[in-house]
């Protein structure tokens, strides 16, 4: 195998360079031989592991896909069964001990093998859970997921979908009806909260047995992230956005209150167009939906990606794009087999929100699709989940870019400048609002895992008041927070969206200046820029998870991850 030849060369080169005496050379030779034997053994272990896990991953991904498009209990059961089987593989204590020993031996010199070892080690570490506890967790997880996806809220005795609620929160002027829709959006939280808290306790129990203080610390560690580093980034961002957010929010409140015919002091959380105030209400001039209502967002996304040389037509053909009864109402991208079968799930409508989502999910999909398949199977993955979020956000942001809209929708220069006037302000507001919202999620989840038995409903509103400057409703707080699906399906993940925004801005800066060779980003739409697609394919997508995320970012942008460009782009 080619890899082994490379390793041999590596060791010969090492001997030549060390220039030590005869005794030293002999020791080095012994160590070299030991090392090579260990590498050979590990390589065989990895091959056997991949042979076993590859079909299991594919089957589980297909089952999960099937469950989310049908909502049927038998499909969720199948998904659960396959997921449990995979986690059982990674729970093998003897194999974990072997990997641990290999890792600690320091004798795996080949970087590709060492990287796979590192990933396997973390994969096994997070699953060193006794079978009974593991089964309880997987069962509960699947039960919540199913109730979550199939639950339909009611408002004034009628069933309403998530899209119905969004429509009311965007357009309704009557405060009472807004409140009812907002409350309907939270019903599912109260429905699942008991199960969710039980799941949190089980997750903590499992983590403590592995020597971690709670599940969150375990999760961050195995995801190659440092809790202290995250605290530092979030602390910095909070400070950097405090003032700008307060100013922007006061201005937004003035405009919103005027539209509802109330005073700013009377504004409640249901007045903000989004159940969690995570998106900016479109109140400055017209919304952008008007420009998309006669367009086909699927076609636009397909055309855009083809234009930058990252065709996704095959992805779209395999995807499930439109609303249907029983189907998951969210959106995601999934890599079924690491061999090119990549799909997205959406509930597309021809509006700006879904344009953004289509671009976002297809960004994930382009990442998965373009991993270099010559790399080992275990390395065909995103460097880190926040890096794939960054790609998705980089492209998702274009749905509000005036120049992108002009080119893709064939708008006039007058229409473009009309959009430009509102979109710059809107984008800035959107990023500020999103950043503050993510702080709520970040600090809440930290507390949730530190102590799931505290008064979480009140804590939620403490944080919402502090970071989002919203007013808590007068009645006793309920578990509406649990209607945020991420608590169940993607625990301790939300901070990655913020890191993704930071990296998306860093890429934007780098690509404008170093790939396109421009002095500033004015008028940049990326439409038809094959260089952009090539940059992402070569620098980011192809290497997969070969490098730690920190190294990938240094290689691809020439510096470590920094909030500098996000602040430069969005915070005045």
- Interface residues with Zn ion (CB under 5 A) are 389, 392
49 or 384, CB closer to Zn ion? 384
How far apart are alpha carbons 429 and 406 in whole angstroms?
22
- In angstroms, the CA 185 to CA 65 distance is 24
Alpha helix (H) ranges present in 71-161? 73-90, 93-105, 111-125, 131-150
- Is the Cβ of residue 287 or residue 363 nearer to Zn ion in the bound state? 363
C-alpha gyration radius of the chain? 25
DSSP 470-531: PPPPSSPP-SGGGGSTHHHHSTT-THHHHHHHHHHHHHHHHIIIIIS--SS-TT---TT-HH
| Shortest distance (Å) from residue 109 CB to Zn ion | 36
Q: Rank residues 117 and 392 by Cβ distance to Zn ion and give the closer one.
A: 392
- Residues with Cβ within 8 Å of 348's Cβ and at least 6 positions away in sequence, in order, are 297, 298, 321, 322, 323, 354, 357, 358
Q: C-beta of 551: minimal distance to Zn ion in Å? A: 22
Residue 382 CB, shortest distance to Zn ion, in Å, is 11
352, 422, 503, 542 from 355: Cα distances, Å: 5, 18, 21, 26
Closer to Zn ion at the Cβ: 214 or 505? 505
CB of 431 to Zn ion, least distance (A): 16
Give least dist CB 442 to Zn ion, A.
17
Q: Which is nearer to Zn ion, 396 or 452 (CB)?
A: 396
Cβ density class 502-529: b for 16+ within 10 Å, e for less? bbbbbbbbbbbeebeeeeeeeebbbbeb
CB of residue 360 to Zn ion, shortest distance in Å: 6
Closest CB to Zn ion among 276 and 377? 276
Q: What are phi and psi of 321, to 5 degrees?
A: -105, -25
At its nearest, how many Å lie between Zn ion and the CB of residue 315? Answer: 15
Q: How far is the CB of 547 from Zn ion (least distance, A)?
A: 21
The residue among 36 and 355 lying less far from Zn ion, judged by its C-beta, is: 355
28 within 8 A of 15, measured Cβ to Cβ: yes
Q: Which residue number, 191 or 361, has a Cβ lying nearer to Zn ion?
A: 361
Residue 160 gets which letter from DSSP? E
Q: Which residue is nearest to Zn ion (CB)?
A: 392
What count of Cα atoms within 13 Å lies in the side-chain half-sphere of residue 516?
23
Name the token pair of 74.
């038998």
């Amino acid at each position: 195998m080619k890899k082994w030849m490379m390793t041999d060369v590596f060791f010969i080169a090492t001997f030549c360079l060390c220039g030590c005496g005869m005794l030293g050379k002999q020791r080095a030779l012994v160590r070299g031989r030991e090392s090579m034997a260990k590498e050979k053994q590990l390589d065989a272990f990895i091959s056997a592991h991949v042979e076993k896990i590859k079909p299991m991953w594919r089957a589980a991904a297909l089952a999960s896909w099937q469950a989310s498009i049908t909502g049927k209990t038998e499909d969720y059961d199948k998904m659960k069964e396959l997921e449990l089987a995979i986690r059982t593989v990674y729970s093998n204590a003897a194999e974990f001990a072997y990997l641990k020993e290999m890792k600690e031996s320091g004798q795996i010199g080949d970087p590709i093998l060492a990287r796979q070892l590192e990933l396997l080690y973390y994969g096994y570490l997070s699953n060193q859970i006794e079978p009974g506890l593991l089964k309880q967790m997987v069962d509960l997880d699947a039960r919540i997921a199913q109730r979550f996806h199939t639950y339909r809220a009611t408002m004034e005795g009628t069933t309403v979908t998530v899209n119905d609620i969004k429509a009311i929160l965007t357009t309704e002027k009557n405060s009472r009806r807004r409140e009812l829709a907002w409350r309907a959006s939270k019903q599912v939280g109260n429905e699942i909260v008991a199960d969710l808290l039980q799941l949190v306790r089980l997750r903590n129990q499992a983590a403590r047995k592995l020597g971690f203080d709670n599940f969150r610390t375990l999760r961050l560690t195995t995801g190659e992230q440092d809790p202290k580093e995250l605290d530092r980034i979030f602390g910095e961002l909070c400070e950097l956005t405090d003032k700008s957010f307060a100013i922007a929010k006061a201005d937004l409140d003035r405009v919103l209150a005027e539209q509802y015919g109330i005073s700013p002091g009377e504004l409640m959380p249901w007045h903000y167009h989004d159940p969690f105030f995570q998106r900016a209400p479109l109140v400055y001039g017209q919304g952008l939906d008007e420009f998309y209502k006669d367009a086909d967002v699927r076609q636009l996304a397909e055309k855009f990606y083809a234009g930058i040389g990252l065709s996704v037509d095959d992805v779209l053909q395999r995807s499930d794009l439109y609303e249907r009864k029983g189907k998951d109402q969210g959106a995601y991208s999934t890599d079924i087999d690491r061999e090119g079968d990549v799909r997205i799930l959406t509930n597309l409508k021809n509006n700006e929100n879904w344009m953004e989502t289509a671009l976002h999910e297809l960004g994930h999909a382009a990442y998965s699709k373009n991993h270099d398949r010559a790399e080992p199977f275990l390395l065909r993955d995103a460097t880190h989940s926040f890096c794939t979020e960054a790609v998705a956000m980089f492209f998702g942001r274009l749905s509000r870019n005036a120049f992108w809209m002009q080119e893709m929708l064939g708008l006039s220069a007058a229409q473009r400048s009309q959009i430009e006037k509102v979109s710059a302000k809107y984008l800035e507001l959107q990023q500020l609002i999103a950043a503050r919202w993510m702080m709520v999620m970040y600090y809440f989840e930290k507390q949730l895992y530190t102590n799931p038995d505290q008064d979480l409903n009140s804590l939620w509103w403490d944080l919402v008041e502090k970071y989002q400057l919203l007013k808590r409703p007068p009645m006793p707080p309920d578990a509406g927070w649990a209607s945020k699906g991420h608590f169940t399906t993607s625990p301790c993940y939300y901070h990655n969206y913020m890191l993704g925004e930071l990296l998306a801005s860093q890429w934007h800066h780098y690509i404008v200046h170093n790939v396109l060779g421009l002095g500033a980003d004015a008028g940049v739409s990326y439409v038809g820029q094959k260089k952009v697609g090539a940059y992402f394919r070569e620098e980011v997508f192809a290497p997969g998870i070969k490098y730690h995320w920190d190294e990938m970012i240094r290689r691809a942008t020439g510096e470590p991850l920094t909030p500098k460009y996000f602040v430069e782009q969005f915070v005045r």
